[in-house]
A and B are shown apart, each in its own frame.
Chain A
Amino acid sequence: MNGPMNGFLLSILIWLPILGAVGVLMVGESRPALARGLALLLSSATFLLGLPLFSSFDTSTAAMQFVEFRPWIEAFNIHYKLGVDGFSAPLILLTMFFGVLVVIAGWRSITKNVSQYMAAFLVLEGLMIGVFAALDGLLFYIFFEAMLIPMFLVIGIWGGPQRVYATIKFFLYTFMGSVFMLIGIIYLYIQSGSWDILAWHQMPLALGVQKWLFLGFLSAFAVKIPMFPVHTWLPDAHVEAPTGGSVILAAIMLKIGGYGFIRFSLPITPDASAALDWLVIGLSLIAVVYIGLVALVQKDMKKLIAYSSISHMGFVTLGLFVAFSIFRNTGGVAGAALGVEGAMVQMVSHGFISGALFLTVGVLYDRVHSRMIKDYGGVANTMPWFAVLAVFFLMANSGLPGTSGFVGEFMVILSAFQANFWFAFLAALTLILGAAYSLWLAKRVIFGAVTNREVQNLQDINAREALVLGSLAVAILVVGLWPQPLVEMMHASVDQLLQHIVQSKVL
Chain B
Amino acid sequence: MNLSLQTTLLLIPVLPLAGAIVAGFFRNQVGRVGAHSVTILGVAASFILSSWILLQQVNGGLDVVNTSVYTWMVSDGIRFEIGFLVDHLTALMMCVVTFVSLMVHIYTIGYMREDPGYQRFFSYIALFTFSMLMLVMANNFLQLFFGWEAVGLVSYLLIGFWFKKESAIVANMKAFLVNRVGDFGFLLGIAAILLTFGTLDYAEVFGRVNEAAGKTFEIPGGLELQMLTFICVCLFIGAMGKSAQAPLHVWLPDSMEGPTPISALIHAATMVTAGIFMVARMSPLFEMSDAALSFVMLTGAVTALSMGLIGIVQNDVKRVIAYSTLSQLGYMTVALGASAYSAAIFHLMTHAFFKALLFLGAGSVIIALHHEQDVRHMGGLRKYMPVTWITAWLGTLALVGFPFFAGFYSKDVIIEAVAASQRWGSDVAYAAVTLGVLVTAIYSFRLLYLTFHGKERFEVVHADDDGHLPAGQLAHTPQESPLVVTIPLILLAIPSVVIGWMTVEPVLFGGWLEDSIFVLEKNNVVAELGQHFHGATAMAIHAINTLPFWLMILGLLISSLIYLWKPSIADSVRGRLPALYRVLDNKYYFDDFYQRLFAQGSVRLGRNLWHRADAGFIDNGLVNGSARLVNWLAARVRRWQTGFLYDYAFAMIIGLIGFLAVWVALVPS
Contacts and interface: CB of A to CB of B under 8 A. Distances in A.
Contact of B153 (A400, A488, A491): A400
B74 to A, nearest CB: 7
B173 A407 contact: no
Interface string B141-153: 0000110111001
A439 B609 contact: no
Contacts of B623: 169, 173, 232
A393 B97 CA distance: 29
B614 A484 contact: no
A193 interface: no
Given A378-B164, A381-B164, A440-B173, A335 B76 contact: yes
A401 B146 contact: yes
Given A293-B605, A297-B603, A297-B610, A428 B220 contact: no
Contacts of B177: 432, 435-436, 439
Contacts of B160: 447
B220 A420 contact: yes
Interface in B587-613: 602-603, 605-607, 609-610, 613
A411 interface: yes
A428 B184 contact: yes
A483 interface: yes
A436 B602 contact: yes
Interface in A227-280: 229, 232
A229 to B, nearest CB: 5
A19 interface: no
Contacts of B1: none
Contact of A334 (B77, B176, B613): B77
Interface in B306-359: none
Interface residues on A, range: 35 or more
Interface stretch (B186-194, B273-281, B436-444, B533-541): B186-194
A147 to B, nearest CB: 22
B610 A401 contact: no
A380 interface: yes
Interface in A324-365: 334-338, 341-342
Nearest to B603: A297
B169 A448 contact: yes
B78 interface: yes
The binding surface of chain A is classed by DSSP as helix
B73 A483 contact: yes
Contact of A439 (B146, B173, B605, B610): B173
Given A229-B618, A378-B164, A432 B180 contact: yes
A328 to B, nearest CB: 13
Contacts of A439: 156, 173, 176-177
Interface in A481-497: 481-484, 487-488, 491
B75 A417 contact: no
Interface in A388-415: 395, 400-402, 406-407, 410-411, 413-415
B607 A401 contact: no
Interface string B136-177: 000000000110111001001000100110100110010011
A425 B153 contact: no
B70 interface: yes
B224 to A, nearest CB: 12
Contact of B75 (A173, A337, A402, A435): A337
A297 B606 contact: yes
A414 B194 contact: yes
Contacts of B70: 482
A369 interface: no
A183 interface: no
A443 interface: yes
B188 A425 contact: yes
Contacts of B150: 400-402
Contacts of A425: 188
Contacts of B163: 380, 446-448
B220 A401 contact: no
B640 interface: no
A431 B188 CA distance: 11
A290 B73 contact: no
Contacts of A338: 75-76, 78
Interface string A445-472: 0111100000000000000000000000
B183 interface: yes
Contacts of A422: 219-221
Contact of A447 (B148, B169, B187): B169
Interface string B265-308: 00000000000000000000000000000000000000000000
Contacts of B72: 481-484
Contact of A431 (B78, B153, B180, B198): B180
Nearest to A409: B187
B140 to A, nearest CB: 13
With a 10 A CB-CB cut-off, give which of A229, A296, A447, A491 has the most chain B CB atoms.
A447
B619 interface: yes
A273 to B, nearest CB: 19
With a 10 A CB-CB cut-off, give which of A334, A424, A446, A484 has the most chain B CB atoms.
A484
With a 10 A CB-CB cut-off, give which of B150, B613, B619 has the most chain A CB atoms.
B619
A484 B75 CA distance: 9
A294 B614 contact: yes
B75 A341 contact: yes
Nearest to B174: A439
A294 B606 CA distance: 5
A308 interface: no
B216 to A, nearest CB: 13
A421 B219 contact: yes
B76 A337 contact: yes
Contacts of A341: 75-76
A429 interface: yes
A421 B156 CA distance: 30
Given A401-B150, A414-B194, A429-B184, A484 B176 contact: no
Contacts of A219: none
Contacts of A317: none
Nearest to A290: B609
Interface in B36-70: 70
B327 to A, nearest CB: 27
Given A338-B78, A414-B190, 13 more contacts: A232-B619, A290-B613, A297-B606, A336-B76, A338-B76, A415-B76, A417-B195, A435-B176, A435-B180, A447-B160, A482-B70, A483-B72, A487-B74
Interface of B: 70-78, 145-146, 148-150, 153, 156, 160, 163-164, 166, 169-170, 173, 176-177, 180-181, 183-184, 187-188, 190-192, 194-195, 198, 217, 219-221, 602-603, 605-607, 609-610, 613-615, 618-619, 622-623
18 contacts: A229-B622, A232-B623, A293-B602, A294-B614, A297-B606, A338-B78, A341-B76, A378-B164, A401-B149, A401-B150, A407-B73, A418-B195, A424-B191, A436-B602, A439-B173, A440-B173, A487-B74, A487-B75
